[in-house]
A = this chain, B = another copy of it.
Amino acid sequence: MPLEPSKQLDTFENPKPERDYEIDLECPEFTAVCPLTQQPDFAVVRISYVPDRLCVELKSLKSYLWSFRDEGVFHEDVTNRILDDLVAAIAPRRMTIVTDWRVRGGIHTVVTARHPR
Protein backbone atom coordinates (compact mmCIF):
# COMPACT_ATOMS: atom_id res chain seq x y z
CA MET A 1 0.00 0.00 0.00
CA PRO A 2 1.62 3.27 -1.09
CA LEU A 3 2.50 5.90 1.52
CA GLU A 4 0.18 8.94 1.59
CA PRO A 5 0.11 12.20 3.54
CA SER A 6 -2.02 11.68 6.64
CA LYS A 7 -2.58 13.19 10.05
CA GLN A 8 -2.93 9.62 11.41
CA LEU A 9 -0.06 8.67 13.74
CA ASP A 10 0.38 4.90 14.14
CA THR A 11 2.02 3.46 17.22
CA PHE A 12 3.62 0.27 18.47
CA GLU A 13 4.12 -1.18 21.95
CA ASN A 14 7.17 0.11 23.82
CA PRO A 15 9.36 -3.02 24.06
CA LYS A 16 10.86 -1.91 27.39
CA PRO A 17 8.30 0.18 29.33
CA GLU A 18 9.97 -0.57 32.67
CA ARG A 19 12.97 1.60 31.68
CA ASP A 20 13.17 5.33 30.88
CA TYR A 21 15.07 5.61 27.59
CA GLU A 22 15.21 8.22 24.83
CA ILE A 23 14.32 8.08 21.15
CA ASP A 24 15.66 10.95 18.98
CA LEU A 25 14.30 11.40 15.47
CA GLU A 26 15.71 13.97 13.04
CA CYS A 27 13.47 14.68 10.03
CA PRO A 28 15.23 17.12 7.67
CA GLU A 29 12.56 16.99 4.96
CA PHE A 30 9.75 19.12 6.37
CA THR A 31 8.02 21.70 4.19
CA ALA A 32 4.84 23.71 4.63
CA VAL A 33 3.40 26.98 3.33
CA CYS A 34 3.71 30.45 4.88
CA PRO A 35 0.10 31.52 5.63
CA LEU A 36 0.89 35.18 4.89
CA THR A 37 2.73 34.89 1.58
CA GLN A 38 1.61 31.39 0.46
CA GLN A 39 5.26 30.66 -0.29
CA PRO A 40 6.91 27.38 0.73
CA ASP A 41 8.79 27.19 4.03
CA PHE A 42 11.37 24.51 4.88
CA ALA A 43 12.48 23.16 8.24
CA VAL A 44 14.31 20.37 9.98
CA VAL A 45 12.04 18.78 12.62
CA ARG A 46 13.72 17.13 15.63
CA ILE A 47 11.65 14.90 17.94
CA SER A 48 13.06 13.53 21.23
CA TYR A 49 10.99 11.51 23.66
CA VAL A 50 10.94 9.00 26.48
CA PRO A 51 8.19 6.49 25.59
CA ASP A 52 5.68 5.28 28.14
CA ARG A 53 3.48 2.48 26.78
CA LEU A 54 3.69 3.42 23.09
CA CYS A 55 6.25 4.45 20.47
CA VAL A 56 5.46 6.31 17.25
CA GLU A 57 5.77 4.23 14.08
CA LEU A 58 8.21 5.84 11.59
CA LYS A 59 6.26 5.39 8.35
CA SER A 60 3.20 7.04 9.83
CA LEU A 61 5.40 9.82 11.24
CA LYS A 62 6.72 10.41 7.74
CA SER A 63 3.13 10.58 6.40
CA TYR A 64 2.18 12.89 9.25
CA LEU A 65 4.99 15.36 8.54
CA TRP A 66 4.20 15.11 4.82
CA SER A 67 0.59 16.11 5.55
CA PHE A 68 1.73 19.70 6.27
CA ARG A 69 3.13 20.09 2.74
CA ASP A 70 0.17 22.10 1.46
CA GLU A 71 -0.94 23.68 4.74
CA GLY A 72 -0.37 27.26 5.79
CA VAL A 73 1.37 27.18 9.18
CA PHE A 74 3.05 29.69 11.48
CA HIS A 75 6.41 28.54 12.92
CA GLU A 76 5.36 28.82 16.58
CA ASP A 77 1.96 27.29 16.04
CA VAL A 78 3.00 24.24 14.02
CA THR A 79 5.74 23.36 16.54
CA ASN A 80 3.19 23.26 19.33
CA ARG A 81 0.69 21.37 17.15
CA ILE A 82 3.20 18.63 16.32
CA LEU A 83 3.94 18.33 20.03
CA ASP A 84 0.21 18.18 20.89
CA ASP A 85 -0.52 15.58 18.20
CA LEU A 86 2.37 13.33 19.25
CA VAL A 87 1.49 13.66 22.94
CA ALA A 88 -2.12 12.76 22.09
CA ALA A 89 -0.97 9.73 20.09
CA ILE A 90 1.62 8.16 22.38
CA ALA A 91 1.45 9.97 25.78
CA PRO A 92 5.23 9.98 26.25
CA ARG A 93 6.83 10.50 29.65
CA ARG A 94 8.79 13.43 28.19
CA MET A 95 8.95 14.93 24.69
CA THR A 96 10.75 17.82 22.96
CA ILE A 97 9.98 19.17 19.47
CA VAL A 98 12.46 21.45 17.68
CA THR A 99 11.71 23.09 14.34
CA ASP A 100 14.71 24.70 12.66
CA TRP A 101 13.64 26.91 9.71
CA ARG A 102 15.49 28.13 6.62
CA VAL A 103 16.44 31.82 6.70
CA ARG A 104 13.62 34.28 5.88
CA GLY A 105 14.30 38.03 5.68
CA GLY A 106 17.86 37.42 6.89
CA ILE A 107 16.62 35.78 10.12
CA HIS A 108 17.11 32.14 11.11
CA THR A 109 14.34 30.87 13.43
CA VAL A 110 14.33 27.83 15.74
CA VAL A 111 11.31 26.95 17.93
CA THR A 112 11.54 24.46 20.82
CA ALA A 113 8.57 23.09 22.79
CA ARG A 114 8.61 20.55 25.62
CA HIS A 115 6.11 18.24 27.32
CA PRO A 116 5.28 18.15 30.18
CA ARG A 117 5.30 21.76 31.33
Chain A interface (Cβ within 8 Å of chain B)?
Answer: 2-4, 14-16, 19-29, 31, 37-40, 42, 51, 55, 58-59, 61-62, 66, 69, 74-77, 79-80, 83, 102-115, 117
Contact = CB atoms under 8 A, between A and B. Distances in A.
Contact of A74 (B15, B66, B69, B109): B15
Given A20-B117, A114-B21, A76 B55 contact: yes
Given A2-B37, A106-B29, A106-B103, A111 B22 contact: yes
A39 to B, nearest CB: 6
Interface of A (DSSP majority class): mixed
A16 B107 CA distance: 22
* Most B CB within 10 A of own CB, among A22, A38, A77, A106: A106
A27 B76 contact: no
A107 B15 contact: no
Contacts of A20: 114, 117
